Structure 1
Amino acid sequence: MSELACIVRGSGPGLLLAHGGGGGIQANYGPILDGLAERYQVIGPDYPGTGGTPRATEPLTLDGLADALVEAAGEEGVETFAIAGYSLGGPVAIRAAVRHPDRVTALVLTASFAHPSARMRLATRTWRKLLDEGDPPRLAAFLALIGAGASFLDRLSAEELEAMLAGAAATVPPGTPDHVDLVEAVDVRADLTRLDIPTLVISTTEDQLATPYHHRQLADGIPGAKFAEIATGHLPFAERPQEWLGLIRAFLDEVHR
């Protein structure tokens, strides 16, 4: 796997970010990066095919991606760290914690999953088909419907919705097909009971992609996991960024107290 481009900010306890499929550090964490960097040394690697990282020449694997993120933190001189994993970043974070238990101190898993349900696979296969068809406006419309919460979309004006769709259609990372393929392959259910670190599962209650069914499966499977809810769809960084930031900081502050 090619070396991952990183955003590095702040000082304090280490915090490694794992972003979602078809996203990126700026796309998924941009609205809360400054707030996180006020308290932690944040390391945000972009997966292959996003940000400044070239697209992979071979299929992505969960082990390979988890190891690459941990290596990226080490290259920045951060030896121990919590991991905040969003969407696909959740199973990446879980696998990193299982493979590198001496490095990972805590987990925050938002809008995430241990294994895609049949419904989620239907959504990701439709996503993948739209990527192959090369129709960005149609893809953007589909992702808005399954990504954003209904209450968020309902509040948008027609002009705001069109601007949102145009932005989404113009910013599809080239590595997105590889990320979506990896989502299909994810299965960390056997890893959950092996976790022995503080963990917070944040459920996005209006999520139509990784639904609350998946969030509860994570929380029920991880020993001692804490559970919190936020009234958004799959895009907390767009819908309620300050509330999301507050949940992450409150949990990590308690871990480091």
Structure 2
Amino acid sequence: MSLSVEVRGSGPGLLLAHGAGGSTAANFPFIDELALRHTVVAPDYPGSGRTPEAHGPLDLDRLADDVVAAAVDSGVETFAILGYSMGTTVAVRAATRHPDRVTSLVLTAGFAHADRHFQLTLELWRQLLDDPDRSALTRFLLLNCFSPATLNSFDEPEWAELIRATAEGVPPGTAAQVDLLRTVDVRDDLPRIAVPTLVIATTQDTLVPPHNSRELAAAIPGARLTEVDSGHVIAVDNPGPWLKAIQDFLG
């Protein structure tokens, strides 16, 4: 399906692939900074941002093709892909399905498949999404998305606002995106990646623990691994070192 997309900046192409339950705006807080050096293409998955929900289950091949089409239809023929969380699987699949278009990869807080630990987390996340009372879901997300230091840094008014915003900010397509997470497996794709790749592990991540990133780096030929002291939502926990690692690699 056609995805809503925003294009900013000029220079070499950079395609963004966001995480489940997120959007490009929410997951990448430094699009303006990236756009100083790149033509940034920022699509949203079905049910996120301004993209309507899909009529059926999501499929990784189709999602990767649609994200690539968002760039090509915007006039950006070749591009690096910056993938975050579920977006790392989208980026990997795009690189193997469209090797003539993808020039490099940056994979942050990612994974190749949902191991038993991640499956348990996803099953609980999916069950909580079915509950119209968002209180348990909100606490699950806060507990698993932020480091203890970040959680403790909010004063009481900020904490109340964060709880409210988290409860009200769940995109309508999140359930379908989590269902996709439970089935994706790009392990066979990894040895076929033939472009420069940077893997960024989030060391305090309890949603997608850092061993997943280390396994990605070990399986991708020539991949570089760097680690950032952060919970899963690195865009809030520690965006500065994340942006620097991206810019240093792409530059």
Q: Could you say which TM-score interval applies, normalised by the shorter chain?
A: over 0.9
Q: Which residue of 2 is the match for residue 9 of structure 1?
A: 8
Greater share of helix? 1
Matches within 5 A, 1:31-110: 31-110=29-108
Q: Distance in 1 between matches of 2:216 and 2:87?
A: 13
Tell me the SS of whatever aligns to 2:130: helix
Residue 133 of structure 1 deviates from its aligned partner by 1.2
Residue 168 of structure 1 deviates from its aligned partner by 0.8
2:192 is aligned, of 191, 194, 199, to 194
Cα-Cα RMSD: 0.8
Q: Which residue of 2 is the match for residue 130 of structure 1?
A: 128
Between stretches 224-233 and 128-137, larger displacement belongs to: 128-137
- Runs of 5+ unmatched residues, structure 1: none
1:178 is aligned, of 176, 191, 200, to 176
**Paired letter, 2:78:** T
Question: Is it true that 1:18 corresponds to 2:23 in the alignment?
Answer: no
Give me the TM-score of the superposition, normalised by structure 1: 0.96
Q: Which residue of 1 is the match for residue 227 of structure 2?
A: 229
Residue 151 of structure 1 deviates from its aligned partner by 1.9
Give me the TM-score of the superposition, normalised by structure 2: 0.98
**Paired letter, 1:252:** L
- Runs of 5+ unmatched residues, structure 2: none
Residue 154 of structure 1 deviates from its aligned partner by 2.3
Q: Distance in 2 between matches of 1:135 and 1:88?
A: 25
Tell me the SS of whatever aligns to 1:218: helix
Residue 156 of structure 1 deviates from its aligned partner by 2.3
Tell me the SS of whatever aligns to 2:41: strand
Residue 225 of structure 1 deviates from its aligned partner by 0.3
**Paired letter, 1:240:** N
Q: Residue deviations 1:229-256, cap 9 Å, x none? A: 1100001111111221111011000xxx
Q: Which residue of 2 is the match for residue 214 of structure 1?
A: 212
Residue 157 of structure 1 deviates from its aligned partner by 2.4
Q: Which residue of 1 is the match for residue 116 of structure 2?
A: 118
Q: Which residue of 1 is the match for residue 242 of structure 2?
A: 244
Q: Distance in 1 between matches of 2:250 and 2:162?
A: 32
Q: Distance in 1 between matches of 2:131 and 2:175?
A: 12
Identity of aligned residues (%): 51
Q: Distance in 2 between matches of 1:232 and 1:162?
A: 22
